[in-house]
Amino acid sequence: MLMSIAAAAAPKASNPYGLMEALEQGGVIAWTVFIILCAMSVGTFYILFTKLIEQQKVINQGKKVRAAFWRAPSLKEGAAKLEKNSAYKQIVDDGIKAQEEHTKLTDPVEAHDWLHGSLARSEAQINSSLGGGLAFLATVGATSPFIGLFGTVIGIYRALIKIGAAGQASIDAVAGPVGEALIMTALGLAVAVPAVLAYNFLQRRNKSIAEQLNSFTVDLLAYLVSNGAVRPAVAAAPAASAAKPAAAPTKA
């Protein structure tokens, strides 16, 4: 009984093959690989969350456009209802500016071509801004396994050196370097998988947003070249709730 209590109270032996021990055994190369992979992981999650917030703002702006913009009596009044510095307001402002500048051209250009080019340029700028940072995710997803593999190769190389120095392949001689090699492989994969998933997820949302922006740009172009005669069908605003019927008279 006393022996079991003493054994339970005794501190557990530390793991000699943990992450920190592997980094200490690997030296400068192991620490360098570890720091690079950590920086890649932090950058991946930073881009993921900031892009999600940016994309959600544009999606919410699109809902407001469908709800209120096309019900405005004029284009400028509709633009005033849009959120300041929003993607949709930028397209509308660029369209209004292009329409005003068309009359100042000395070389005659079709209004449709001029407005279409201006709106397409504005739309491309927004899509380019939404795509910012995705190249970093693609780079991390493609290179981090190889960076981890570099640490793996160094660990295996150190294990072979210990085997040669000891003259035999004992577990004690190779457990540390081989463990270091496996840890580096696992770290590389742990950084690559979230980066690839985040890239594909954000790319898919950007494609959906680009389709919505293109649809709005086409509707806006039709509105501009027709001087407001052509506009998309918008559901009517919800009518005020009808007055409640008078209560039936109670019997005496």
User: How far lies 210's CA from each of 34, 130, 201, in Å?
Assistant: 37, 9, 14
CA-to-CA distance for 83 and 56, rounded, in angstroms?
A: 14
The yes-or-no verdict on residue 108 having pLDDT over 60 is yes
CA-to-CA distance for 239 and 217, rounded, in angstroms?
A: 29
Find all residues with CB under 8 Å of 179, minimum gap 6, and list them: 17, 22, 155
Q: Rounded mean pLDDT of 29-46?
A: 89
CA-to-CA distance for 150 and 143, rounded, in angstroms?
A: 11
- Whole-model pTM? 0.75
Is 59 contained in some domain?
yes
Is 1 contained in some domain?
no
Is 35 contained in some domain?
yes
- For residue 191, the one-letter residue type is V
CA-to-CA distance for 4 and 7, rounded, in angstroms?
A: 5
Is 190 contained in some domain?
yes
What is the residue range of 208's domain?
A: 16-70+89-100+114-225
Is 168 contained in some domain?
yes
pLDDT at 1: 42
pLDDT tens per residue, range 179-199? 677 788 888 899 999 999 999
Is 122 contained in some domain?
yes
CA-to-CA distance for 148 and 30, rounded, in angstroms?
A: 10
Is 244 contained in some domain?
no
Q: Using 50, 70 and 90 to split pLDDT, how confident is the model at 239?
A: very low
pLDDT at 23: 63
CA-to-CA distance for 91 and 168, rounded, in angstroms?
A: 72
- Domain count for the chain, please give it: 1
The yes-or-no verdict on residue 10 having pLDDT over 70 is no
Is 105 contained in some domain?
no
The yes-or-no verdict on residue 238 having pLDDT over 70 is no
